[in-house]
Structure 1
Amino acid sequence: MLSAKSVFQEILGNDESFRLLCSIAASGEAQGGWENGRIATLVPEGEQALVPKITRHGVDEDKHGRIFNALLRKRGLEPVPVPPETDYTMLLERRGIGLAHDRLRRDEPLSVRDIIVYLAHSRVTEQRAAEQMLLLRKHFADHPEVGKAVRMISHDEDDHLAYTHEELLRFAASGYGRLIQRTLRECALAEIRVHRDVSLAVMARMGRVLGWSGARRAVLAAGIRAVYLYERAAGWRRMVSLRMPERRNPLGGPATTAPEFA
């Protein structure tokens, strides 16, 4: 039976597909770590309370990248270059979502509007990350090879998502509600397109590595496109709603380490 679990099991069971998957994930997490690190150094004077939280976010992303690379090392594998069509972070930037890397490389303080753009971008992308990790946790939390990594990363992504809700609600209460909603909608509609394109590209690569039949590739591609159509019609709305998280100040403490993956 073709299911998310069976597809992931097949990917995990093959060294080449596993290497591609971990390489893509490690690259994206490392990029996120760099972005958050730069943003933390450029926070405007009036928002300095955000610095330790943004720093913590970046440290977590760096940790996730190291975890994926450690999973590769455990199999005696080396990372592979990330195909451009599977580079989620780069493709989002090309669509003008989030803060441009050229802006982050300049040593000029960000504005409050820039911080809201960053938080809205994070709110949308962390929704995706949290959902994907929840799916993996459902099926692979007890997996002997990747279970610990899945549980740890999933917990962090939940915290990151909660943090974006909390901070955006704070800014909304300060009079930025319309800017936040407009920015969230733009980010969500762009993200679902990029997610569709990246998913199709990744599945095409995996299909070639694993020797999937044309029929199987067609079924998976149809499923990805069906998800996109649902998200384009209504599913994107889950990415723009805001609610106060049950756990307040989720990034207020020190980052957890991953000694088992060091």
Structure 2
Amino acid sequence: MLSAKSLFQEILDNDASFQLFCSIAASGESQGGWENGRIAALVPPSARALAPKIARHGADEDKHGRIFHALLRKRGLRPVEIPPETDYTMLLERHGIGLAHEKLAAERPLSEQDVITYLAHSRVTEQRASEQMDLLCRYFGDHPDVGRAVRMIAHDEDNHLAYCHEELLRLAHAGHGPLIQRVLRECALAEIRVHRDVSLAVMTRMGRILGWPRARAAALTAGIHAQYAYERLAGWRRMVSLTMPERRDALGGPAPAAAEFA
């Protein structure tokens, strides 16, 4: 039966597909860690109180990258170069979403509008990450090999999403509401297109590795297009709403001391 659980199980059970999956995930997390680290270093004086939280966000992303590399090492595998069409983070940047790497690589302080753009971009992408990790947690949270990693990352992604909600609401109450809603909508509509394109690219690669028959590949492709159609029609709205989270100050303070995942 074709299901999300059976699909992930098939990818998990094959060394080559697992290697590609973890390599793609590690690359995205590492890029996110670098981006947050640079933003924390460049925040303007008006947003200086946010710097430790942004740095904590980046530290979490770096940790996630190390976790995916550790999962590869446990299987005796090395990371592989990821195909450009599967690079979610860089494709978002090419669509003008978030802060450009060129700006982050410079030494000029960011503006308050840049901070809003960063938080709006993060609110949208962390929604996706939280949902995906929730799905993996539901199916593989008790898995002997990947369960601990899945639970750890899922907890962090929920914290990141809560932090984005809380900080954007604070800025909305300070008078930035119209700008926040505009940027959120732009980010959400771009993200669902990029997510569709990356999903198609990843599934094509996985299909080649796992030898999927044409009928199965066609069914998965149709499912990805159907999800995009729903998100384009109405589903994107879940990415732009703002609600005060139950987890308040989710990224306050330094990252908790814990043994490194291995």
TM-score, normalised via structure 2 length: 0.99
| Aligned position for 2:239 | 239
Give secondary structure in 1 for the equivalent of 2:142.
Answer: coil
| Aligned position for 2:92 | 92
Kindly provide the CA deviation profile for residues 101-141 of structure 1, in whole angstroms up to 9, marking residues without a partner as x: 00001100000000000000000000000000000000000
Identity %: 76
| Aligned position for 2:70 | 70
Residue type of the alignment partner of 1:192:
I
Kindly provide the CA deviation profile for residues 205-246 of structure 1, in whole angstroms up to 9, marking residues without a partner as x: 000000000100000000000000000000000000000001
Residue type of the alignment partner of 1:131:
E
Greater CA drift, 44-53 or 186-195 = 44-53
Give secondary structure in 1 for the equivalent of 2:249.
Answer: coil
Give secondary structure in 1 for the equivalent of 2:144.
Answer: coil
| Aligned position for 1:184 | 184
Shift of the 11–257 alpha-carbon distance from structure 1 to 2, 3 Å rule, reads: farther
Aligned pairs for 1:164-203 (under 5 A) are 164-203=164-203
Indicate yes or no: 2:233 matched with 1:254: no
Query: How far is 1:258 from its partner?
Result: 5.5
Unpaired stretches in structure 1, ≥5 consecutive residues? none
| Aligned position for 2:149 | 149
Residue type of the alignment partner of 1:73:
R
Indicate yes or no: 2:159 matched with 1:128: no
Residue type of the alignment partner of 2:13:
G
Query: How far is 1:37 from its partner?
Result: 0.2
Kindly provide the CA deviation profile for residues 168-198 of structure 1, in whole angstroms up to 9, marking residues without a partner as x: 0010001100000000000000000000000
Residue type of the alignment partner of 1:142:
D
Contact 1:63 / 1:257 at 8 angstroms: preserved in 2? no
Residue type of the alignment partner of 1:228:
Y
Query: How far is 1:247 from its partner?
Result: 1.4
Query: How far is 1:47 from its partner?
Result: 1.1
Give secondary structure in 2 for the equivalent of 1:261.
Answer: coil
Residue type of the alignment partner of 2:208:
R
Give secondary structure in 1 for the equivalent of 2:29.
Answer: helix
| Aligned position for 1:2 | 2
Contact 1:163 / 1:251 at 8 angstroms: preserved in 2? yes
| Aligned position for 1:42 | 42
Contact 1:184 / 1:240 at 8 angstroms: preserved in 2? yes
Give secondary structure in 2 for the equivalent of 1:259.
Answer: coil
Q: Distance in 2 between matches of 1:158 and 1:175?
A: 26
| Aligned position for 1:163 | 163
The list of structure 1 runs, each at least 4 consecutive aligned residues, that deviate by more than 3 angstroms after superposition, is none
Contact 1:160 / 1:251 at 8 angstroms: preserved in 2? yes
Contact 1:67 / 1:258 at 8 angstroms: preserved in 2? no
Residue type of the alignment partner of 2:102:
D
| Aligned position for 1:138 | 138
Q: Distance in 2 between matches of 1:110 and 1:48?
A: 11
Contact 1:29 / 1:65 at 8 angstroms: preserved in 2? yes
| Aligned position for 1:218 | 218
Q: Distance in 2 between matches of 1:52 and 1:104?
A: 17
Q: Distance in 2 between matches of 1:257 and 1:87?
A: 31
Query: How far is 1:261 from its partner?
Result: 2.1
Instruction: Give me the CA root mean square deviation.
Output: 0.8
TM-score, normalised via structure 1 length: 0.99
Contact 1:160 / 1:250 at 8 angstroms: preserved in 2? yes
Q: Distance in 1 between matches of 2:47 and 2:90?
A: 27
Greater CA drift, 160-169 or 247-256 = 247-256
